């Protein structure tokens, strides 16, 4: 990957059918549930990217056998029983929020000490709520770096029972606890101490757990473990948002195959926002199509449920004919970077009137000038800002390789749009 990538504007509206790689979120849940199920599970349609490789290595460290076949997007996992296996020792979650927040509770199932760490970027993100929750269910925790941060050592086994955790910083703490619940002697009953963000991801957690035989009712998990399963993973809906956004801003058509009406991913609702802006959307059992063409109007929207698509919406909003205001997403300041500051800084660099709010941003439409966008080692900065280059000349993306976190082939796939 070059240090800087120039995006060529499209000369005709996009007209394409795409199938993005597998969902990062579903892949990492399925890998963990399979790793905790006795027997062999086969995951098809899996994502191969830095975040899911982090999870594959992590569950291998837990003692599961992981046989990846990238050509076939398949992973065969043979699970481990934490009640008889030794503690993993150490886990490197790299830059992956899901791997780290899901692994801490899983590591707490093992008798012994596991150190969970990650890249500098991950060490800057919050972990306090899950560390405190694990103490409540019987694990010993050592915070080895800054308080509430990685690296942290977990000593299990955690026995479960009643646990309180906050919901307003990240839903991943709750998802991680729920997924460890079936292996805790007492199961788990979770109570939220603050409003939950990213709600659809918790529903996804409950669904994947149930597919691997766990009994979960709301935030209560029965003891009883997992069963192995053959599990098909949907394409990634957050990744799809870039292609759907491209249809909207070029007045063209994009169909995403494999993302149907029954999708487990909240981010499919990004299409609803494009519809509110004026695009037309067709939903079938197995696909999602967006057609642009008419005028695109700005919208006022709370994106707390689907915040991974907020930067995509910011890029689309540049080409609307009235301002777009996004609220409810103050928590995305603690993702790969401060995403509110980053997206506003970069749009302003291109001459767009963008304003940062405490819990969101406002984008006023405009004509972007030729700009080299900085990407803050945030895959979603790179992918979303590239959309601007499909319409405006002279757009360059610095450090395009950062897309490897969730979508290594993104720029190759973007180049296939006609
Ligand atoms: O559970 C998950 O798979 C995810 C939950 C979301 O995080 P938060 O709950 O921290 O918002 C999302 O941003 C992330 O990309 C994946
Ligand atoms: C926030 C993200 O990832 P994670 O929290 O899993 O690192 C993302 O993919 O946008």
Instruction: Please give the model's pTM, rounded to 2 decimal places.
Output: 0.98
CA distance 260 to 289: 10
Q: How confident is the model at residue 362 (pLDDT cuts 50, 70, 90)?
A: very high
Q: Which ligand 2 atom is the nearest neighbour of the CA of 172?
A: 5
Number of Cβ within 10 Å of residue 270's Cβ equals: 27
CA distance 298 to 311: 15
How many residues make up the chain in this entry?
A: 418
Per-residue confidence (pLDDT) for residue 86, from 0 to 100: 85
Q: Which of 51, 130, 334, 379 to mutate to test the pocket of ligand 2 (most atoms within 8 A of CB)?
A: 51
- pLDDT tens-digit readout, 60-78: 999 999 999 999 999 999 9
H or E segment at 107? helix 97-107
List CB contacts of 235: < 8 A, sequence separation 6 or more. 19, 20, 21, 22, 23, 45, 256, 257, 258, 259
CA-proximal residue: ligand 1, atom 13 (nearest): 308
Say what the ipTM of the complex is. 0.99
CA distance 327 to 330: 8
Note whether 33 and 214 are within 8 A (CB). Answer: yes
Note whether 178 and 205 are within 8 A (CB). Answer: yes
Residue 21 clears pLDDT 90, i.e. is over it: yes
Residue 87 clears pLDDT 90, i.e. is over it: no
CA distance 191 to 403: 35
CA-proximal residue: ligand 2, atom 5 (nearest): 97
Per DSSP (E only), the strands in 225-332 are 230-232, 253-257, 280-283, 287-291, 300-302, 324-327
Rounded to 10 degrees, what is the CA torsion of 347, 348, 349, 352?
70
Q: Which ligand 1 atom is the nearest neighbour of the CA of 334?
A: 10
User: How high is the mean pLDDT of the chain?
Assistant: 98
Number of Cβ within 10 Å of residue 42's Cβ equals: 17
CA 378 and chain centroid, separation? 12
Ligand 1 pocket list (CB less than 6 A): 25, 97-98, 170-172, 175, 197-198, 201, 307-308
Q: What is the DSSP secondary structure assignment for residue 236, as one 8-state letter?
A: P
Q: What is the DSSP secondary structure assignment for residue 84, as one 8-state letter?
A: T
Q: Give me ligand 1 centre to Cα 130, in Å.
A: 14
Q: What is the DSSP secondary structure assignment for residue 281, as one 8-state letter?
A: E
- pLDDT tens-digit readout, 154-175: 999 999 999 999 999 999 999 9
CA-proximal residue: ligand 1, atom 15 (nearest): 308
Parallel, antiparallel, or unpaired: how do β-strands 253-257 and 220-221 relate?
A: unpaired
Q: Give me ligand 2 centre to Cα 48, in Å.
A: 15
């Amino acid at each position: 990957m070059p240090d800087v990538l120039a995006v060529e504007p499209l000369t005709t509206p996009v007209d394409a059918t795409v199938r993005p790689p597998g969902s990062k979120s579903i892949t990492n849940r399925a890998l963990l549930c399979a790793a905790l199920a006795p027997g062999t599970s086969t995951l098809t349609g899996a994502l191969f990217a830095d975040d899911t490789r982090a999870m594959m290595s992590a569950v291998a460290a837990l003692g599961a056998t992981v046989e990846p076949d990238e050509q076939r997007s398949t992973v065969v996992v043979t699970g481990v029983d934490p009640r008889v296996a030794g503690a993993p020792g150490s886990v490197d979650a790299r830059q992956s929020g899901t791997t780290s927040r899901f692994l801490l509770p899983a590591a707490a199932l093992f008798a012994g000490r596991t150190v969970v760490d990650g890249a500098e970027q991950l060490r800057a993100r919050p972990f306090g709520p899950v560390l405190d929750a694990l103490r409540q269910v019987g694990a010993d925790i050592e915070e080895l770096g800054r308080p509430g941060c990685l690296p942290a050592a977990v000593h299990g086994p955690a026995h479960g029972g009643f646990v309180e955790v906050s919901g307003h910083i990240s839903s991943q703490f709750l998802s991680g606890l729920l997924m460890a619940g079936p292996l805790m002697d007492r199961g788990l009953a979770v109570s939220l101490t603050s409003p939950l963000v990213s709600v659809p991801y918790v529903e996804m957690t409950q669904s994947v757990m149930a597919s691997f035989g766990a009994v979960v009712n709301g935030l209560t998990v029965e003891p009883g473990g997992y069963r192995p399963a053959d599990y098909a993973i949907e394409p990634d809906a957050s990744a799809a948002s870039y292609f759907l956004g491209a249809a909207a801003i070029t007045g063209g058509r994009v169909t995403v195959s494999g993302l149907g009406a029954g999708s487990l991913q909240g981010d499919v609702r990004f299409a609803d926002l494009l519809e509110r802006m004026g695009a037309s959307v067709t939903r079938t059992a197995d696909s999602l199509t967006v057609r642009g063409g008419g005028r695109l109007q700005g919208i006022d929207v709370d994106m707390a449920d689907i915040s991974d698509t907020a930067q995509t919406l910011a890029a689309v909003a540049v080409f609307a004919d009235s301002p777009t205001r996004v609220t409810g997403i103050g928590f995305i300041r603690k993702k790969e970077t401060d995403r509110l500051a980053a997206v506003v800084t970069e749009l302003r660099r291109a001459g767009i009137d963008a304003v940062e709010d405490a819990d969101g941003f406002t984008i006023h439409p405009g004509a972007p000038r030729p700009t080299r966008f900085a990407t803050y080692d945030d895959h979603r900065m790179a992918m979303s800002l590239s959309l601007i280059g499909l319409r405006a000349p002279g757009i360059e993306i610095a450090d395009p390789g950062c897309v490897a976190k969730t979508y290594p082939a993104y720029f190759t796939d973007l180049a296939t749009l006609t």
